[in-house]
Amino acid sequence: METPHAPVAAAPPAGHAGLRFDRGEWAGAFGDLGTLVPFLLAYITVVGVEPAGMLLAFGIAFVAAGAYFRTPFPVQPMKAIGAIAVTGAAQTAVITPQAVAVAALATGLIWLAIGASGTADRIARWVGRPVVLGITLGLGLAFMLEGTRMMAAGIWLAVPLLLVTILLLSNRALVAMVLILATGVAWAVLTDPAVTGALTRVEISLKYPAWPFQGLTWEAFFVGVVLLALPQIPLTLGNAVIAPVEFNNREFADRPVTERKVAVSTGVMNTLGSLIGGVPMCHGAGGMAAQFSFGARTGGAPVIIGGLLIVLALGFSDSVAILLRLFPHPALGVMLFLAGVQLALGSCDFSRDKGERFVTLGTAALSVWNVGVAFVFGLTVLWIVRKGWLRL
């Protein structure tokens, strides 16, 4: 059985292995804002998470990931936990910042155990390549669909911006990213007069993270562990461990990673991040595709965005909700759509076996809805195919 992290691309020149900070890295650094910004804004405005600790945790994690993996290895909010936290807080006020901190700590300890024990590598060896390709393809399609929904909020901005960006991507990545960001900011200012007024209140104010477990209750502990952390495990395994390893080792065969390293990294950044008010984080494959699509080829891109987040955390945390409003949904949707295209493109190397192609396509379709369900489906049907019980 093939391992999901087997390199399939020729190694690039050795000079690509170090950290670079050229225009491609700067452009790629902002490539994943389509995922990052909406979750950060929701955590701050809906759940009430303190911006200083959350941004500082993200910033440190980005810098560490870039320096350690030496590829545009991403750091993203865990989407299932984020969605449950935001909708729960909006509807019932049960989800508190303390519960989110508990979820980050529990998530970190769980993935430290999975990674340190070697369980992640054993699972990855057991999972067949058709399942891995299906998960990656489905995630790409999901990103494209979500990007399309975000672009629909301002179609007259999004469509020309998408077309021009595609034309600029091939050899002028920085110009493409500058175009998206500048156009998005201009759109936000012109369509929402309140943004202009709010910008005048932005100021530098040094602030340090607060202890996130102050006033922790048993209810918040239960919610953080049972309702937030545990349901995310199968999603993280597929989306943030197996899929990014597949993408990394395909595009950067000279700098391979293992599922064990990614699992341990996920555990460390969540365990330590929770102590300063961080929210649950992961290494989502879509984030790597986003940075890659805009030109990032080394760990320089995550170091850049991480450094900027640290500056925001320590100097502008009181104003960060205002600054995040400068990135409107149509512009973020363009980034997300292109990240999805990049992620899906690398998953089109289907097996010649019709049964395995069935597994890949079925897994992809279900991954658009739920990665955990898709993962179980793919494993089950692949086992049936290899037993010879499925005739197509």
Q: Are 89 and 217 within 8 A, CB to CB?
A: no
Residues 164 and 241: their CA atoms lie apart, in Å, by: 33
Which phi and psi angles does 8 have, rounded to 5°? -125, 5
Q: What is the mean pLDDT of residues 253-260?
A: 94
pLDDT at 93 (0 to 100): 52
Report the 10 Å Cβ neighbour count for 345. 12
Tokens representing residue 317 in the block: 């945390």
Buried/exposed code over 160-189 (b: 16+ C-beta within 10 A; e: otherwise) = ebbebbeebbeebbbebbbbbbebbbebbe
Quick check: is 336 in a domain?
yes
β-sheet bridge partners, residue 281: 77
Range in 81-90, 300-309, 325-334 the model is least confident about: 81-90
pLDDT at 5 (0 to 100): 45
Residues 54 and 37: their CA atoms lie apart, in Å, by: 12
Residues 318 and 50: their CA atoms lie apart, in Å, by: 9
Q: What is the mean pLDDT of residues 264-270?
A: 97
What confidence tens digit (pLDDT) does each residue in 167-221 have? Answer: 877 655 556 778 888 888 888 888 877 777 777 777 778 888 999 999 899 999 9
Q: What is the mean pLDDT of residues 253-267?
A: 95
Q: What is the mean pLDDT of residues 21-47?
A: 88
Quick check: is 80 in a domain?
yes
Confidence of residue 90 (pLDDT cuts 50, 70, 90): low
Quick check: is 13 in a domain?
no
Report the 10 Å Cβ neighbour count for 93. 10
Quick check: is 391 in a domain?
no
Which phi and psi angles does 368 have, rounded to 5°? -60, -30
Residues 118 and 129: their CA atoms lie apart, in Å, by: 19
Residues 264 and 242: their CA atoms lie apart, in Å, by: 13
Quick check: is 7 in a domain?
no
Quick check: is 4 in a domain?
no
Q: pTM score, two decimals?
A: 0.81
Tokens representing residue 354 in the block: 């019709």
Tokens representing residue 133 in the block: 């390709």
Flag whether pLDDT at 381 surpasses 60. yes
Task: Report the number of distinct structural domains present in the chain.
Answer: 1
Quick check: is 5 in a domain?
no
Determine the structural domain holding residue 308 and report its residue range.
Answer: 18-203+212-386
- Per the prediction, the chain carries an average pLDDT of 86
Q: Are 15 and 291 within 8 A, CB to CB?
A: no
Which amino acid, 381? V
Q: What is the mean pLDDT of residues 350-355?
A: 86
Quick check: is 392 in a domain?
no
Evaluate the CA torsion angle 311, 303, 80, 177 in order and state its sign: positive
β-sheet bridge partners, residue 282: 76
Residues 315 and 253: their CA atoms lie apart, in Å, by: 39
pLDDT at 188 (0 to 100): 85
Range with top average pLDDT, 117-131, 161-175, 264-278, 312-326: 264-278
What confidence tens digit (pLDDT) does each residue in 175-187 have? Answer: 677 888 888 888 8
